[in-house]
Structure 1
Amino acid sequence: MLNNLQPILIEPPDDPRYRKREGKRPSHKRPFRILRPIEYELLKQGARKKENQLNLDVLLLTGLRYEEARRLQQNPEWFDGNFIRIPEMKVTRQRRQRQRWVRLSLIGKTILPFFFDSRPLPDPHVWKENLVRWAERANLDPSGLGAKTTRKTWESWLVFCYPHRQIEIIQSQGHGLLTAIEHYINMPFTEDDRRMMEKYLHGW
C-alpha cells in the first residue's frame, strides 16, 4: 500500500514573521511531514519500546506543541481527567500564547496519566533523530519528520474527519482559522485512512 503513496509534505509559509520566529532564512525552509494512519502505526512499531510508543501517542493525541508537552509532563495538574488546560505562556520575546483548553479523544484521556510517570521527553533535536531512526527501522520514508509532525498530523486528521467542527479544532490547537485553511484542509487522505483514524479520534 505504501509503495504507491508519496509522503505528505507541507511547505512552511513564505512569511518573514514565521522565518523570524523560527530563526531560519528562506533558503533553509524545510517541509513538515503529515502522517497517514498506516505510516503512524509503522513509525510506532519502529519505536519498539513501550515508553517511546507512549510518548508518540501522547504527542499525537494531544496535538500539543512539543514544548507544551514537555511543560505538561512537569505539571500534571493541567489535566483534569477530560481536558488539558494550557495556561498563558511566553513563547518568544515578542509573542505570548493565550490560555486554552485542549480537547482529548477517549484514548487520549486514557493514556495521558501514564505520561506523567515516564521519563521526561528529550530535547527536540533528539526527538527528531529518534523519529528518523524509528522510521528507517520500519522502512518508512523519514522525509520531513520532526517535533512538529505529530501536532500537524493530528490537526489534519481532525479537520478531515470533522470538517463541521473547525472552530472547536482551531481553538483546541491554539491558532487561527487562516493557519488551518493554509495547512490542514484538503489533505490527500482516503476513505481507508478515515476508517483507520476513527479509533484515535473516537470521543473527541
Structure 2
Amino acid sequence: MPKPILKSGVRILRPVEYEQLREGAATLENQTRSDALLLTGLRYIEAQRLQTNPKWVDGRFIHLPPSAQRKAKRQQRERWVRLSSKGASLLPYFFKTKPLPIWKGWTQNMERWATKAGLDPAGLGPKTLRKSWESWLVASYPERVLEVFLSQGHTQMTALSHYLGLPFTQGDKGAMLEYVGGWA
C-alpha cells in the first residue's frame, strides 16, 4: 500500500482506502453517513445542517443558503453543490440516519474504523472526506476544475494549491469513476 496522502496534515483518501474505512465503520448507518460526507463534499457543519434541512436538496444539487455556511472567510454567500449520481441517490437515506456527532466524536470514529480495517489512521478527521471528494473530482474532471471549485465553495487559488498534482495512480482514477460518475 502506498504511503498516506497528507495535505496540511489532513488525509486525502484513495478509493481503496475509503472502501477500507467504510468497511471498518461496520454499521449501515455509519457507512451511510460516511458516504454522504464523501459524496456531497460538504463541510462538516454544512452536512450537520443539511441533515435537518432536506428541502435544500433540489434534484442533482444541494442549495446551501447563507445560513448553512456561516464561515467567516467564505467567498460565496450561498452556493449550489453539484451531486454525482451516487450522491443524489444516497441522500434520502442520509436524512433517516441519526445526527452526525460533534467534530471530535467523528474524528474518533474515523480513527477507530481505520484501525479496525487495518488502515493507517494518520490525518483522518472531518475534513478528510471533503478534501478527498474535491481531489477525486479534480483528478476525474480536469477540464471542469472551475465548476468543481465553485461547487465546493473555494477560490481558484485555494483549490489549485491544495488539489492539483496529487499522487493518484491510473488505478485510483479508474476506481474514482464509481463515485464521481454523473457529476459532470
Q: TM-score, normalised by structure 1?
A: 0.86
Aligned to 2:37: 59
3-state SS of paired residue (1:38): helix
Gaps of 5+ in 2: none
Q: Please list, as runs of the form range in 1=range in 2, the aligned pairs for 1:27-176 lying within 5 A after superposition.
A: 31-89=9-67, 91=70, 94-95=72-73, 98-176=77-155
Report Cα offsets for 1:121-165 as digits up to 9, x if no partner: 100100000000000000100000000000000000000111100
Structure scoring higher RCO (CA < 8 A, sep ≥ 6) equals 2
Task: Determine which structure has more spread, i.e. the larger CA radius of gyration.
Answer: 1
**Which one of 6, 9, 26 corresponds to residue 9 of structure 1?**
6
Distance 1:80 1:73 in 2: 14
3-state SS of paired residue (2:58): coil
Gaps of 5+ in 1: 12-30
Per the TM alignment, residue 53 of structure 1 is displaced from its structure 2 partner at its CA by: 0.2
Q: Which letter maps to 1:158?
A: L
Per the TM alignment, residue 91 of structure 1 is displaced from its structure 2 partner at its CA by: 2.6
Aligned to 1:22: none
Report Cα offsets for 1:85-118 as digits up to 9, x if no partner: 00113635x5455100000000100010111111
Distance 1:193 1:98 in 2: 34
Report Cα offsets for 1:30-87 as digits up to 9, x if no partner: x010000000000000000000000000000000000000000010000022210001
Distance 1:91 1:101 in 2: 15
The list of structure 1 runs, each at least 4 consecutive aligned residues, that deviate by more than 3 angstroms after superposition, is 94-97
Distance 1:168 1:158 in 2: 10
